[in-house]
A = this chain, B = another copy of it.
Amino acid sequence: MANDQLSNKPSRPMVATDCVIFGFDDKDLKVLLVERGIEPFKGSWALPGGFLREGENTEQGARRELMEETGLKDFFIEQLYTFSDAGRDPRGWVISVVYFSLINRNAMSPEAGDDAERAEWFALDSLPALAFDHAHILEVAVARLKGKLRYQPIGFELLPQEFTLPQLQALYEAVLQVQLDKRNFRKKIMSMELLEIAGKRGGTVGKPATTYRFNKQKYEDLTQKGFNFEV
């Protein structure tokens, strides 16, 4: 390692956390953005985020911000990447540890954001211009989400606790941007035996769909034994 840690005077960048919050509205994958109320980039849209507080690790910081933004307490969150290029923030040397989160929009309290800032959902194909390097960050996040969706059961995080198979399929189709065969999709999902029947969804036109719950416990048990989720 050569120069040891104490032989350089440690320099101290500012450290922020930002969150890429994905939601799904039965049709499109969306991302939650906030309109900045202050400089720099005042008036621009940006990923929610803020500086890390003393005594807090980066995940705690991300959870705090996400909670403030959506009112949600439990949600899927995962570290995405740390961005540290010089010049990414005009205020100086700012490193941002970015998390991405998947939330069920039905469970989110509407307009939970606490202050003057506007928060809005945007479909990925109609994004506004973004502040800082957030457009780049978002690209990385989408790529990661696409990559993970097929090999980890994270899609369920975007749906209500009880969901139908057509909903689940629509989610996969929206995120992965592909058409899937209904019968083959069902076959694959059901063969994993990770869904349990919750009831029926009525009140809508057409034959009512069966609703299911994802059995996370069973998934974790199977994973221990070498099971691999794959869609």
Which residues in A have some Cβ–Cβ distance to B below 8 Å? 1-6, 8-16, 34, 36-38, 46, 48-59, 65, 68-69, 79, 81-82, 84-86, 93, 95, 97, 113-115, 117, 119
Contacts and interface: CB of A to CB of B under 8 A. Distances in A.
Contacts of A54: 11, 93
Copies in the complex: 2
A8 B50 contact: yes
A2 B38 contact: no
Contacts of A16: 5, 10
A2 B115 CA distance: 6
Majority DSSP secondary structure for residues of A touching B = loop
B69 A1 contact: yes
A68 B113 CA distance: 48
Contacts of A48: 1-2
B12 A86 contact: no
A144 to B, nearest CB: 12
A95 B15 contact: yes
Nearest to A6: B38
A33 B22 CA distance: 39
A38 to B, nearest CB: 6
Contacts of A5: 16, 49-51
Given A4-B50, A12-B13, 5 more contacts: A1-B46, A2-B114, A4-B36, A57-B84, A79-B81
Contacts of A95: 15, 58, 97
A94 to B, nearest CB: 8
Contact of A97 (B4, B37, B57, B84): B84
Nearest to A54: B11
Contact of A15 (B13, B36, B113): B13
Contact of A51 (B10, B51, B59, B93): B10
